[in-house]
């Protein structure tokens, strides 16, 4: 059976709302967020990954004074993720790096929120938005399902162009099911800003404190406190924010579907 549910988050647990629910837009407002403080706190509290991204634009979904959703548009680690899809310089497009609504927002709240964000991004002169959905479930070391995977139902509902899968890769999973990202590994190895936070993820998972050569420490501790997961690649979606960018998009493929029984 094909899912008719929209995935939501609360306290890093995935929850679901019926996709056919209609949001009462008069009760909600969308506003830019001035800095990373508020969206970072919201994302780290609710999203299963518990991690933030390199934000360029941040928007909040408010019900009255209450923040009930966050959209963070970011810059990917590799410019080609954008320039292979959209015309122009990489800074003329963005990735939807985090998109998190709590489970008390009605089912179609995501597409309405996303549409309002796109309107504001157009005023910034951007060409397009790239997004990824991860269909591969994650489990904690004790077998608990911490993420059931999703195929991008709301992206499909918002008429995104489906571009197939991203590159397959091998993930290193922490005991709680989160991925230890290669970018975090690079921060530790190079001593970049954020090294302490990245190393702290491994220490919290049982690694010895970081001492001596970071590369040697990573080589020793990563295999000891993480496990591998071969990932076939996330699903890629794209929207052109202008007519020219939409016409320039690669041809779309049939939308993937997700069976709850699969």
Mean pLDDT of the 74-102 span: 93
Bridge partner residues of 67 (DSSP): 62
Give the pLDDT band of residue 197 (cuts 50, 70, 90): confident
Q: What are the start-end ranges of the H helices in the chain? A: 37-46, 80-83, 109-123, 153-157, 182-190, 195-204, 214-225, 243-248
Q: Which pLDDT does position 32 carry in this prediction?
A: 97
Q: How confident is the model at residue 258 (pLDDT cuts 50, 70, 90)?
A: low
**Roughly how many angstroms between the first and final C-alpha of the chain, as a whole number?**
9
For 43, what's the count of Cα atoms within 13 Å in the CB-facing half-sphere? 22
pLDDT one-digit tens code per residue, 6-22? 555 554 555 565 556 67
Pairwise CA distance, residues 5 & 56, whole Å: 30
The answer, yes or no, to whether residue 259 has pLDDT greater than 60, is no
Q: Is the pLDDT of residue 69 over 50?
A: yes
**Predicted pLDDT of residue 17:** 56
Residue 96 has, within 13 A of its CA and on its CB side, a CA count of: 27
Residue 239 has pLDDT above 90, yes or no: yes
Whole-model pTM: value is 0.85
CA distance 222 to 137: 21
């Amino acid at each position: 059976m094909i899912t008719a549910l929209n995935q939501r988050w609360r306290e890093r647990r995935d929850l679901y709302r019926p996709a056919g629910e209609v949001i009462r837009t008069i009760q909600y407002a969308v506003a830019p967020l001035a800095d990373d403080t508020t969206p970072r706190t919201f994302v780290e509290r609710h999203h299963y990954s518990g991690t933030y991204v390199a934000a360029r634009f941040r928007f909040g979904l408010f019900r009255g004074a209450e923040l009930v959703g966050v959209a963070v548009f970011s810059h990917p680690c590799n410019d080609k993720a954008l320039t292979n899809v959209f015309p122009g310089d990489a800074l003329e497009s963005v990735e939807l790096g985090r998109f998190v609504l709590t489970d008390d927002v009605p089912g179609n709240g995501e597409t309405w929120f996303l549409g309002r964000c796109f309107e504001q991004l157009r005023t910034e002169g951007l060409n397009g938005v790239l997004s990824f959905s991860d269909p591969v479930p994650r489990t904690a070391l004790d077998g608990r399902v911490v993420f059931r995977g999703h195929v991008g139902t709301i992206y499909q509902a918002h008429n995104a162009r489906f571009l197939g899968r991203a590159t397959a890769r091998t993930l290193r999973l922490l005991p709680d099911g989160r991925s230890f990202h290669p970018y975090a590994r690079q921060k530790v190895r190079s001593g970049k800003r954020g090294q302490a936070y990245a190393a702290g993820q491994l220490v919290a998972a049982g690694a010895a404190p970081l001492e001596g050569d970071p590369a040697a420490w990573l080589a020793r501790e990563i295999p000891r406190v993480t496990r591998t997961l071969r990932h076939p690649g996330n699903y890629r979606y794209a929207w052109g924010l202008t007519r020219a960018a939409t016409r320039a998009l690669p041809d779309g493929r049939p939308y993937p579907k997700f069976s709850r029984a699969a």
